[in-house]
Each structure stands twice: as C-alpha cells, then as structure tokens.
C-alpha cells in the first residue's frame, strides 16, 4: 500500500528575537531580562528565553533573495567574488532543540484555526527521520497532542560560513533574528493518517504578488567548499542528497541554491574563503538524479523509503504515547524503518522537555 505525504501551503511566518537571559529569584520569579550572547554560559539562576512574533502581529517576513540570483540564469555572467571573512554575523549558537520559539508561537496563535494536530515538531526532526539520519527521538503528550524532537544534546552548532552565504544572498545586514515558517503536513497510508504541525527555518524567498503566505516561494541555501569548478560531485549524491531533499521538501521549497567557496588556500587566482559561484537545483528533480548517480551504491535512496520511515515512526509513537504527561525515548536499532524501541522516561531529558512545553504553553495563556 502506498504512503503519502502532503505538505500543505505555509500557514504563517514568524521570527524570534535575540536570545535573552532571565534571572530567577529564590522565590521562583524571574527578573532582569538582558540580551543573551552565545558565548555566555547561563548560571543556575538563569534560563534562555525566546519570544516569537507572527507576521500578523508585526513580526518580520522571511528574507528575500537579492539580485545575485541573476547569476543563476543561463548567461555568460561571471559571479562577483565575495570575501566570506569580511562579514561579521552572530553565530546561531544552540539550535532551537526544544521547540522553544514554536511553542511560544503556539501559545499566542493556537492551531491557526484548525483542529489540534496529532503531532507537533520541527522540520529538523522530519527530515532526519525521513532520511534515516536520527536514531533517537523524544516524545511527550500534552493536551492530547504529541510533541516530538530529536534526541541528543544542546551543544552549540558550528555552521561555518553557511550563515554568511545566506546573508550575501538576501539582506545587506543581519539583525540576528531567525525567520521561520509554520507548516502543516498529512502523512497517510490507506485510511490511516496523521496531521503534523511544525516549524522550520526559511533561508530565503522570492515574492510574487502581495505578502501573504501564498505569495512566497521558498529556497534552501547551501554552501560547499569546492575547488574543482563549482560542480556537484559523487560525494554530494552519496552523503547529502537525501537529507537535503527532505529538508527542502518539508520547507515547501521549489529549489536549492548552492554556493561554492574556496578553502584556506588561493585557487585559480581566487583568494581564500571566497564565494565564487552559485547554481540552482530543482527539488522535484533530485530523486531521479540521485537514482542515476547512486545506481550501484549502498547509499541509494527513494522518496518511498522516506515516507515509510516517517509513517512507521509516527505509528509506533502514537501506539505508545497514549496518555497526557507520557514521556518516552524512542531508539532506532538498525536501518530497518520498523526497528524502533520505546522506553518510558520520567526523570530524564524527555521529562525536562515536558516542563518546557508546560511552561511555554501555559504562561500567561488559557491554552
């Protein structure tokens, strides 16, 4: 029986402002908000605090791609070199692993006029499960909805020059805010289906018409160190094509834009750490191209495999996390999409995730 995944049009956009620290008094109350910088280590009396702003409430729209996209057109235009080291932007720091900003959005906006979903998560988890790139998932049920995140640590993420590439291709300045989309997807097989409400970062958009969610086209931006003329090689198809496809798919993207940079040494008269070329790849063409490139490889993948991976996990989670306040760790034991195990977690990281959900959704709200 065929699996189906339908990503509906983007429901909304929001941004979350700069990270902030809030200080906790012995009484339990929080005071003295101040900007949070990623090199700062919160003390026992502090916590990181995010605030989400929907575009309908004055929040910032996604960043639009700029005129450099003209160099994607089939013309003999030489891309103007960009020195990546000349840009100074904030390190994104700790990834939004606990859905903090999205939970804050949900507290304010609810389900955007729809009924409550089966699952709430983020694009990061969906792409990782579909591409078989995660073996650990945390799940907690609150108010009849199951919240899921990738398991692991909250270590700072090293993005290299990726954020610089995004800056070059979009705005001329970076205000330190992250722009995200709010999406809804339906995953089904036969008569069985699940509704997923999730958020995901939007790298760049082009606008067609007004500024409603229907008038933006989404793009993923990826940067490679490549000193062989800026061409996609076997390594990309083997190591990155699957997860990049699913990342773009769940981000409702039409294309990926690839940038190519030099490394620490000069190459063909191009200085170190320079962006020298951009290309575009259509998302819907990727599975066919991957099948041809990986014909005799152990790393070949199909869209059907990804659908099966996701549906299998959702079914297993739904069968185990049946009561409000339930907390479970799900571990994958092999490449078999059905080989997940479940373990209840009442005093570990999932119970901490439950406290984040409770605090975020119930603070100053009637959720």
When divided into structural domains, the chain yields a total of 1
In a domain, 24, yes or no: yes
Q: Does the structure show a pLDDT above 50 at 30?
A: no
pLDDT above 90 coverage of the chain, percent: 56
In a domain, 232, yes or no: yes
* pLDDT tens, position by position, 193-225: 999 999 999 999 998 866 566 689 999 999 998
What is the per-residue DSSP string for 262-286? --SS-BTTBPTTEEEEEEEEEGGGH
Instruction: Report the SS3 class of residue 68.
Output: helix
Domain range for 197 is 3-362
Measured between alpha carbons, how far is 123 from 100 in angstroms, rounded to an integer?
14
In a domain, 39, yes or no: yes
* pLDDT tens, position by position, 156-204: 556 689 989 999 999 766 666 788 999 999 999 998 999 999 999 999 9
pTM of the shown model: 0.88
In a domain, 367, yes or no: no
In a domain, 229, yes or no: yes
Average pLDDT for 249-272:
92
In a domain, 47, yes or no: yes
* pLDDT tens, position by position, 36-89: 333 344 444 445 455 788 988 888 889 999 999 999 987 668 899 999 999 887
In a domain, 314, yes or no: yes
Measured between alpha carbons, how far is 360 from 367 in angstroms, rounded to an integer?
10
In a domain, 350, yes or no: yes
Measured between alpha carbons, how far is 360 from 104 in angstroms, rounded to an integer?
6
């Amino acid at each position: 029986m065929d699996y189906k995944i339908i990503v509906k049009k983007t429901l909304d956009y929001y941004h979350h402002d700069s990270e902030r620290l809030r200080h906790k008094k012995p009484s339990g109350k929080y005071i003295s908000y101040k900007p949070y910088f990623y090199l700062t280590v919160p003390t026992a009396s502090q916590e990181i605090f995010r605030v989400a702003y929907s575009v309908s409430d004055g929040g910032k729209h996604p960043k639009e791609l700029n005129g450099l996209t003209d160099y994607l057109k089939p013309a003999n235009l030489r891309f103007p070199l960009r020195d990546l080291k000349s840009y100074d932007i904030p390190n994104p720091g700790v990834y939004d692993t606990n859905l903090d900003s999205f939970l804050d959005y949900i507290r304010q906006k609810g389900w955007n006029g729809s009924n409550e979903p089966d699952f709430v998560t983020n694009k990061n988890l969906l792409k990782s499960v579909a591409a078989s790139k995660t073996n650990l998932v945390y799940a907690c049920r609150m108010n009849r909805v199951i919240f899921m995140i990738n398991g692991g640590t909250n270590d700072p993420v090293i993005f290299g020059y990726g954020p610089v590439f995004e800056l070059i291709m979009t705005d001329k300045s970076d205000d330190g805010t992250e722009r995200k989309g709010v999406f809804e997807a339906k995953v089904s097989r036969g008569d069985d289906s699940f509704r997923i409400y999730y958020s995901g970062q939007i790298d760049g958009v082009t606008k067609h018409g007004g500024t409603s969610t229907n008038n933006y086209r989404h793009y993923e931006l990826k940067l490679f160190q490549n000193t062989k003329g800026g061409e996609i090689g076997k390594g990309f198809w083997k190591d990155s094509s699957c997860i990049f496809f699913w990342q773009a798919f769940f981000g409702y993207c039409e294309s990926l834009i690839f940038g190519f940079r030099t490394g620490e040494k000069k190459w063909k008269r191009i200085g170190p750490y320079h962006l020298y070329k951009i290309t575009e790849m259509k998302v819907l063409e990727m599975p066919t191209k991957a099948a041809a490139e990986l014909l005799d490889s152990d790393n070949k993948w199909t869209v059907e495999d990804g659908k099966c991976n996701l549906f299998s996990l959702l079914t297993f989670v739904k069968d185990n996390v049946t009561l409000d306040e339930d907390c479970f760790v799900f571990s994958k034991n092999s490449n078999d999409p059905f080989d997940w195990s479940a373990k209840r977690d009442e005093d570990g990281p999932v119970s901490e995730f439950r406290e984040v959900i409770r605090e975020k959704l119930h603070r100053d709200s009637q959720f």
